[in-house]
Structure 1
Amino acid sequence: MSELSPRMSPPSTPRMVRHNMLVPVLALGLVVGVTACQAPQTVAEAPQGEDVMTAPIGDQTIVEGGDLVMALSAEPDRLDPTTSSSLYTRYVMQTMCQKLYDIDANGEIVPQLATDLPEVSEDGLTVSIPVRDDAVFADGTPFNAEAVAQTIERGLTLEGSSRKGELGPIESITAVDSTTVEVTYTEPFAPLTAALADRAGMILSPAALAANGEAFGDSPVCVGPFKFAERIPQTSITVERDPLYYDAENVHLDTITYRIITDSNIRAANLRSGDVQVADTISTQDVDGLMNEDGINVLQAGSLGFQGLTINVGNTDGVGAAPGVIDTPLATDTSVRQALAMSIDREALVQSVFGGWYEPACSPISPASPFSTDASEACPEYDPEAAKALLEEAGVEMPYKFTMQVSNNPDTIRFAQALQASVTEGGFEMEILPVEYSTLLDVQDRGDFETVQLGWSGRVDPHGNMSNRLSTSTSNNYMGYSNLEVDELLVQAAEANDIAERSELYGQAVTQIQEDNPIIYLYRLRNLTAHTTNIAGIETFADGVVHLSNAAFVEAG
């Protein structure tokens, strides 16, 4: 039995309700594609803006075995689900570390290592999760409720955990028996199931944790179709088929190698040559050509995430620490940040830089989300003259100079240069500092920046896009932002049962965030994944993750 510092006893006989309808209290599944009322297509010749999320095997003849190579546009960080913060780590972990829940092409939450949706007591404080009895970790350790409880507890207690804020105010975690985990809360927490459909729900081998501790990410061991084989830093990560996997008969590849290729032109060239079979984050400059190329298809899905300009307003001692004081007008004066937000012509930028493939974003909540409201879709007016007037009122010297650090890939640099020109009209002078992606993540953590341009791949529940990033001293609050009104609104939204009530609270939070502008939201990309047509069974959904677990080589038609 595993407990996390219980301060009260769980109810002895709570009345439990299984949430089959994926909307009340904890079991929340959403239809989140850009075309939310239309079933996702499964052909790769759809026009720009229409979701094509799967390349089905269908009646094609599978060629068993083989070594698939996927080109990744950036190197993953540590392969530890408890501490990682990179989208690219999620790509790799998806094949090795299954979760209690997953999302499907419709954005609905479905069981994976759990066998059903959680049961929740009437007061919302006790959650019971049924788990599989037929799974084994890649090292032979049995998968059971005790392992689940240990992983969730690690997410709450490990120093440097990025998962704590995702799991809510947990009072205790108990393995009731080998197939049942009971989680007790001090307050109801609506986003739990959605959190367990991401890294917080990736269950780790207790034996590997005992042997490796904080070094778990050097050689991760989980339940999955594949298991870790090798990592060559800055070059590649390889996983191999796990014969112990409970559904091994539906795994077709021998290995998957994730090759780090940061240049989008080189990724496209490797697809054309057949040296790689799958490539993520296809450049909008390459996508039209690839869609018309024989032997190559392109999947596309709308995004739950966003790209934004993160402003350091108080991250002086590292992410998660108490906010400090940064004595610059940009960090201390909301009117200067408001002027910056008003200097950005989002619509013109996405049209000129990305050819209309991407969409302007002004909020952490996608307009396609059921939680979207007029408040969350409101956008700061583009008004460079008013921006200059604000700077004059603030008494700052114009042009106001600041530095933006960005990932050093061509598409990001192109956007940064266009943004640089845009903010000039509003009285700003922006210096661009390109940085290697993994280094940029470290820079963000340390608070060693004035501004950075980075994104977030998005989650099905707005809590996953907001609370950990915008609540005071949370693990992804890279800005060092603190506003007690926002903190309270996000807590209230997580405790509410009703989507309309939660939506209203999130909208109020967005209104305040747009007044403070610790993040200036810029655009929402489309997840563009290209693959050669001798591969099928690939999926890419609105959370940005490319799924290869059931991919296979197929015979030419």
Structure 2
Amino acid sequence: MIRLFACVLAVAATPAMAQTLRIGIGADPNVLDPARSGSFVERVVFTALCDRLLDIGPDLSFRPELATAWAWEDGGRSLRLTLREDARFHDGTRLDAEAVKINLDRYRSAPESVRKSELRPVTAVEAPDARTVIIRLDQPYAPLLSVLSDRSGMIMSPTALARLGARIGEDPVCSGPFRLTRRVAQDRIEMERVPDHWNAANIHVQRVVMQPIPDSNVRLLNLRAGQLDLIERVAPSDVASARRDARIAIAESTAIAYQGIYFNTESGALRDPRLREALELSIDRGIINQVALDNLFVPNNQPEAPGTPYHFANRPVPGRDLDRARALLRDAGQPNPAFTLLTPNAPMETQVAEVIQSMAAEAGFRVRIETLEASTMVARADSGRYDMAFGIWSGRADPDGNIALWIASDGFLNRMKYRNPQVDAAFIAARQSTDPATRRGFYQAAMDQWMADRPMLILYHFRWFWGMRARMEGFQPSPDGLIRFSGLRLPPG
């Protein structure tokens, strides 16, 4: 904690402080390459560095960014994009249709890319002229717009890609409002304003310094001390006191993000589905919300929040049933199973893990909590060396992006090694329709099956809370939890 606080003080001493926006983020990014990225905090950084083809508005509608217009053609088997004329990469080269094609082809085929599954229906990317991109599909693919509003829509400099290849994350050259000037692992990410950015007139700070501070209490302490200007993810336990502090302001938004825990179904200690069912029956999501989250989040067992079009009221949050849980453990021949829960190094998740540990113990589980830095935890899970781990999902505007990337056999976040042909088939059918009622039916069928198998448990949907210096202007809360820099102004003084 002392080291992190000292690092923030060092940032405060940098030149031109009044023009420097100092942001406390929840973790150190693992890799700054959209092709390889898999964590939420990387998306926060990318919002400053890398423009996307499309953006998401506060109402979750799609809006222009690098693409100024788009249209479906050929019965939904082609998407035509019109690019803006005034976009440039940070190395000064023009962003054109050929650059978009190079990036999309890399995401589709490069060995290091984890974007392959979300672009699998794409059969070809064409650039008939400098401002037109045509994406050909083997079948209608409703989630494509949502995909292009995230990392698959981030366009990097072909010159930099040719120079660095799979090492592009060491020097990401994009087209966002800020360019990377320095990164010190576990310490800071420094960026400077791009004066010829197409939206430069609305970018009002000269520098951005992002400081990874996993402890939410330390982030808030530094904000209160004036050493940070903006922090993400204020802990629920701190919201009330932060609102009473005249030095800072709190912005909030209902989130499309959710917190889950996922299981190693291939070789983990809970690979028997009876053990996973018993664990779910041993916990109470409402108690987790009360004890660890100050009743500020939304207990849930589904990837879509209650009240949204793809939430299914006929699958409510199950109640706690210790007798049934114990019976399942006896039936599995393991009345006192032991497993390790990987937890990120953050106070809120640690407290949630401790509540789960306590409740599960009443059913007979012996839970060991192992706390890791976020990128280390993801690396452990990716290698299959885990029993159960926390997994936050920042949410997408399309329902497919909120579950298939975790549950589908080829999902890039399927660290559980879960495979179910019926679930895969339902996801594929849902993607091929733009009719909401038809899609609901397929997502319901998929959910009925994966909920029975339990490769993961969804615990709650978040509310996003950002803390900032009082009188900061232009901050726009968004359900996706990202920070938009357009219009953002530091307070005077």
Q: Tell me the TM-score range normalised by the shorter chain.
A: over 0.9
Per the alignment, residue 392 of structure 1 pairs with 330
Question: Is 2:165 aligned against 1:236?
Answer: no
Cross-structure match for 2:206 = 254
Which residue number corresponds to residue 216 of structure 1?
Answer: 168
More helix by share: 2
| Residue of structure 1 in register with 2:95 after alignment | 143
Partner SS, residue 415 of structure 2: coil
Could you say which residue in structure 2 is the equivalent of 1:84? 37
CA distance in 1, matches of 2:360, 2:383: 26
SS in 2 for 1:369: coil
3-state secondary structure, aligned to 1:523: strand
Partner of 1:109: 62
Q: Helix, strand or coil for the counterpart of 1:546? A: coil
How many angstroms apart in 1 are the aligned matches of 2:323 and 2:393? Answer: 31
8 Å CA contact retained: 2:177, 2:197: yes
- For residues 73 and 405 of structure 2, the distance between their equivalents in structure 1, rounded to whole angstroms, comes to 26
Is 2:26–2:232's contact at 8 Å kept on the other side of the alignment? Answer: yes
Deviation digits for residues 488-510 of structure 1 (CA, Å, limit 9, x no counterpart): 01111111120111122112211
Which residue does 1:379 correspond to in 2? Answer: 317
Using the TM superposition, name which of 348-357 and 160-169 deviates more.
Answer: 160-169
The equivalent position to 1:542 in structure 2, one of 458, 462, 479, is 479
What one-letter code is carried by the residue in structure 1 that aligns with 2:138?
Answer: T
- Show CA shifts across 1:477-533 (max 9, x none): 110000111000111111112011112211221111110000011121211110002
- Cα drift, residue 230 of structure 1: 0.7
Uncovered stretches (5+) of structure 1, i.e. residues with no partner: 1-62, 315-325
Query: Residue 302 of structure 2 corresponds to which residue in structure 1?
Result: 363
Report the secondary structure of 1:432's partner residue.
Answer: strand
**How many angstroms does 1:229 deviate by?**
0.9
The alignment partner of 1:405 has SS state of: strand
The letter of the residue matching 2:46 is M
- Normalised by the size of structure 2, how large is the TM-score? 0.94
Q: Which of the numbers 284, 287, 298 marks the counterpart of 1:348?
A: 287
Matched with 1:29 is none
Check the 8 A contact 1:226/1:549 in 2, yes or no. Answer: no
CA separation of 1:240 and 1:299: change in aligned 2, threshold 3 A: same
Alpha-carbon distance in 2 for matches of 1:309, 1:224: 33
Tell me the residue number matched to 1:284. 236
* Residue deviations 1:149-185 (CA, integer Å, cap 9, x gap): 1111111111131212222411111101111111111
Taking structure 1 as the reference length, the TM-score comes to 0.83
TM superposition shift of 1:534? 4.0
Q: Which residue type is aligned with residue 200 of structure 2?
A: A
Aligned to 1:67: 20
CA RMSD of aligned residues (A): 1.6
Q: How many residues align?
A: 478
Contact 1:138–1:244 under 8 Å retained in 2: no
What is the distance in 1 between the residues matched to 2:139 and 2:297? Answer: 39
Structure 2 spans left out of the alignment, 5+ residues: 1-15
**Contact in 1 for aligned 2:76/2:139 (Cα 8 Å):** yes
- 1:248-327 map, 5 Å: 248-314=200-266, 326=267
**2:408 is the alignment partner of 1:476:** no
- Secondary structure of the equivalent of 2:340? strand
Counterpart of 2:10 in structure 1 is none
2:365 to 408, 413, 428: 428
CA contact (8 A) 2:405 2:411 kept: yes
**8 A Cα contact 1:64 1:553, kept in partner:** no
- Is the Cα–Cα contact under 8 Å of residues 90 and 174 in structure 2 kept in the other structure? yes
Q: What amino acid is aligned across from residue 406 of structure 2 in structure 1?
A: R
Checking the alignment, whether the CA contact within 8 Å between 2:344 and 2:377 is kept in structure 1 is yes
What letter is aligned with 1:348?
I
Q: Which residue number in structure 2 is paired with residue 467 of structure 1?
A: 404
One-letter code of the match for 2:108? L
Matches within 5 A, 1:175-214: 175-214=127-166
Deviations 1:381-431 (A, max 9, x none): 3211111111112222x2221111111222111111111011122221211
